[in-house]
Structure 1
Amino acid sequence: FWSLFTLFQGAIGFFTAGTAIILLFTLRFLVGLAEAPSFPGNSRVVAAWFPSSERGTASAFFNSAQYFALVIFSPIMGWLTHSLGWHSVFVVMGILGILLSFLWIKTVYNPKQHPKINAAELDYISKGGALTSMDDEKSQQNKESKWPYVKQLLSNRMLIGVYIAQYCITTLTYFFLTWFPVYLVQAKGMSILEAGFVASLPALCGFLGGILGGLLSDFLLKSGKSLTFARKTPIIIGMLLSCSMIICNYTESSWIVVAIMSLAFFGKGFGALGWAVVSDTSPKECAGLSGGLFNTFGNIASITTPIIIGYIVNATGSFSGALVFVGSNAVIAILSYLFLVGPIKRVKLKEPPSTPPAQVPSSSI
């Protein structure tokens, strides 16, 4: 559905300005609405399919795929815009997404329903902490409202720290997804075609950083380090590296800027282990809800980041303040994991109060 709504955006140019703005806002909203289950769904897949010692790597591959997509498609989209106009980008990407959705439907299963899984594999991942029985009582759980659990999740200090950090880390993501190519064009004088190719270099570093961060986290876990140390260490190192983007304010060289941004994007990928943490901490009663709240906090940044950066650039006439804003979010993410999150462990919820039975009037006895 999000690919279908992306495809429709290619037709916005056929409408007048006022109508086009309304349609653009509506379709972008629908894209976000349809795409929202993707990351919580992946967190659930990782929790069901992977033992604890492999979740960091599994989550890193999923999370890093978005950076690798930028490596592949940034040059292609730059060329499409340059040669065929901006409409073609939405049409091509929408069609590709629709085709891939059919492949996804044919390949994704729950562990116990996969046609090729054997008893040894199922036993291995189950003993390692995979929640393979998460959906055994699915029909019963669907009858129960998950809203009573929301208050417990939002009052848990560890989860609040993880949610705040995810907002900050997603701010970095959306800087690179939205404003970084504009920064290269407006602040560094590159053409759209050049920016498309250059933007793929930091994205490649982000992809490599994401994979290495997950591998390091799982290596530390298998080496006997605590889950807390294994997850927090790559996150803190990665966010420290991301702060380096502020140095771009002190150089005029375009290629030095690209090198620094590549380091910052590498750090962002290296520290993007939030979904592994969600798989480690989400209560099994409402893993999807916990991932949904985590995703909501992160996606708030997808709304605020383009607006805040646009306001800063418009008010100051430069990107200097914008880079400081994005870098400061990396610092806040570090502080959140250091001082708010505490030990990383699976949350145990209290049973929500059940609805009391209706009272029978004494006169009817």
Structure 2
Amino acid sequence: MKIKGIRWWMVALVMLGLIVNYLARNTLSVAAPTMMAQMSITTEQYSHIVVAWQLCYAFMQPVAGYILDAIGTKMGFAVFALAWSAACAAAAMATGWQSLAFLRGLLGLTEAAGLPAGVKATTEWFPAKERSVAIGWFNIGSSFGALLAPPLVVWAILHSGWELAFLIVGGAGIVWSFAWLVLYKHPRDQKLLSDSERDYILAGQEDHFKDPVARKGNWKKVIGSRNFYAIASARILSEPAWQTFNAWIPLYLMTERHMNIKEIAMFAWLPFLAADVGCVLGGYLSPLFHKYCKVSLFTSRKMVMLFGCSCMIGPACIGLVDSPYMAIALLCVGGFAHQTLSGALYSITSDSFGKNEVATATGMGGMFGFLGAAAFTAVFGVLVTQVGYSPLFVVLAIFDIIAALIVWTVAREVGKKPEGTNYQATRTEQGPISAT
């Protein structure tokens, strides 16, 4: 028996993994006001906890990417998912900011494989013209996990305590890990994949993905390329915005907008819902720009990134509004903007490197991005008590705009264009959400 459009089921499986991944990291930000009060943690100490996660995540990203390229997407993703689930659950045993920082550091080390694994799975299963759409769909997991965190954590706090939230999320990760091991297979091993869909995938991939010889990924080759400099620079500048949204929105709403914990549960997830829209819309914008603006796929990715970064002007204006609901709306614009540009940047990465280099490149780019985020968070934790949140949101918008300009001017298309780049709607092998 063959399943039509099975590549979209693989995307759904990756998306579920990213949901659990981001639930684990966002559980802390929602529980932070309660935990800080119970354990006498200051704002600066909280920033140290966040930085511990970011630094460990940053330095582990290239290592995780290399491991994924070396041992494969299936086993690599499962091992890391089991490890991050255990680290998340262990946070329930934290007794102070130091122990919490240590456990969050462990979480960062293990969660680092999430996005490189997703990008690698997408390059295995999709032709180039669908890849931005596929990345947009699996990238929903990152914002949907953040969306689920506020109601889940607040429910746990009101019914038992913040410890329960970490245990629930850790358990969910363990369940997903075993589901991944059972269900995910490379296209060459997937017996449910029809010959016509396999041919469609291969025909639409770039030449550097069609090499039948599985050459080992070379990090020196990756880091020495022109496109990697553009990607790494953009990640350094753009990642601080998303990490600020993930780590600080609940505290911002409580301290600056004077919301209580129930109001946070009602509103803190909205920017991440908007981010979901950005994930999907950003994925579809690339083929639309390619078709109607008559540009290459690679240029269309850069156009999407410019569009996303321009939307970051919204949260930069947050200091100009008095209404907390208008502030939430501007944060929603920011969530939408970042996930639109983020998906485009991942697509550019997948277009620029071979099948045994893409996870390494994604991981190394992530390392630079999270080092930038860690540096910004360390400064943020000090300055936020002195100058407030509003000027820092302006800085984040400026960073994103500069990132888009760097990618636009530095990144160049690599290799031969894939065949079949004419986009016409079809429902044959692709399911209802694809375009060819």
For the superposition of Structure 1 and Structure 2, which TM-score range results when normalised by the shorter chain? Answer: 0.7 to 0.9
Q: CA deviation at 1:234?
A: 1.3
Listed one character per residue, the Cα deviations across residues 54-102 of structure 1 (whole Å, up to 9, x for unaligned) are 0001111111221122223322212323443221221111111111111
**Residues 183-228 of structure 1: per-residue CA shift (max 9 Å, x gap):** 1111000012211321111111110111001011123335542123
Cα displacement string for residues 147-192 of structure 1 (whole angstroms, at most 9, x for unaligned residues):
xx43333232222111111222221111110011111111000012
Contact 2:89 2:167 in 1 (8 A): yes
- Looking at structure 2, the residues matched to 132 and 192 of structure 1 have their Cα atoms a distance apart, in angstroms, of 51
For the residue of structure 2 that corresponds to 1:160, the secondary structure is helix
Distance 1:35 1:274 in 2: 20
What residue in structure 2 maps to residue 49 of structure 1?
125
> Mean alpha-carbon deviation: is it higher for 122-131 or for 241-250?
122-131
Equivalent residue number for residue 88 of structure 2: 6
Give the superposition deviation at 1:311.
1.7
Aligned residue for 1:354?
Answer: none
SS in 2 for 1:283: coil
Could you tell me which residue of structure 2 aligns to residue 358 of structure 1?
Answer: none
The range that moved more, 254-263 or 126-135, is 126-135
Partners in 1 of 2:415 and 2:314 — Cα distance? 33
Confirm or deny that 1:35 pairs with 2:117: no
Is 1:312 the counterpart of 2:383 in the alignment? Answer: yes
**CA–CA distance in structure 1, aligned partners of residues 170 and 242 of structure 2:** 21
Alignment check: 8 A CA contact 2:278 2:340 kept:
yes
Moved more, 81-90 or 61-70: 81-90
User: Which sits farther off after the overlay, 325-334 or 80-89?
Assistant: 80-89
**1:330 corresponds to:** 400
The partner residue of 1:231 within 301, 305, 310 is 301
Q: Gaps spanning 5+ residues in structure 2: where?
A: 1-82, 417-436
More displaced stretch, 181-190 vs 214-223: 214-223
Structure 1 residue 340 displacement after superposition: 2.5
Query: Which residue does 1:155 correspond to in 2?
Result: 224
Letter in 1 for 2:185: Y
Which amino acid letter does the alignment assign opposite residue 136 of structure 2?
A
Give the TM-score normalised by the residue count of structure 1. 0.84
- Sequence identity (%): 24
**Are the counterparts in 2 of residues 111 and 122 from structure 1 also a CA contact under 8 Å?**
yes
Structure 2 residue 159 is matched with structure 1 residue 79: no
Aligned residue in 2 for 1:270? 340
Give 1:339's aligned residue.
409
Shift, 1:136, TM fit: 5.4
1:199 aligns with 2:268: yes
Asked whether the equivalents of residues 202 and 263 of structure 1 are also in contact (C-alpha less than 8 Å), the reply is yes
1:109 aligns with 2:109: no
Tell me how far apart the structure 2 counterparts of residues 82 and 313 of structure 1 sit (CA, whole Å): 29
Q: Which amino acid aligns with 1:54?
A: E
Q: 2:165, 2:235 → 1: CA distance?
A: 29
Question: In the alignment, is the contact (CA less than 8 A) between 1:55 and 1:218 conserved in 2?
Answer: no
Whole-Å separation in 2 of the counterparts to 1:132 and 1:250: 49
Structure 2 residue 322 is the aligned partner of structure 1 residue 252: yes
Query: How far off its partner does 1:346 sit?
Result: 4.8
Counterpart of 2:242? 173
How big is the shift at 1:245? Answer: 0.7
Distance 2:160 2:403 in 1: 41
Whether the 8 Å CA contact 2:231–2:407 is kept in 1: the answer is yes
Inter-partner Cα distance in structure 2 for 1:163 and 1:78:
36
Q: Larger radius of gyration, structure 1 or 2?
A: 1
Offset at 1:243?
A: 2.4
Q: Deviations over 1:228-259 (max 9, x none)?
A: 32101111111110122111111111111111
TM-aligned CA deviation for residue 135 of structure 1: 9.2
Question: CA contact under 8 A between 2:208 and 2:355: conserved in structure 1?
Answer: no
Contact 2:238 2:396 in 1 (8 A): no
- Stretch moving more, 223-232 or 1-10: 223-232
Measured on the aligned residues, the alpha-carbon RMSD in Å equals 2.2
Contact 2:208 2:415 in 1 (8 A): no
- Calculate the TM-score normalised by the size of structure 2: 0.71
Residues 48, 134 of structure 1: 8 Å contact kept = no
Any conservation in 1 of the 2:128–2:205 contact (CA below 8 Å)? yes
TM-aligned CA distance change 1:113 to 1:133, over 3 Å: farther
Confirm or deny that 1:92 pairs with 2:163: no
Q: How many residues align?
A: 332
Inter-partner Cα distance in structure 1 for 2:155 and 2:308:
32
What SS does structure 2 have at the residue aligned with 1:121?
helix
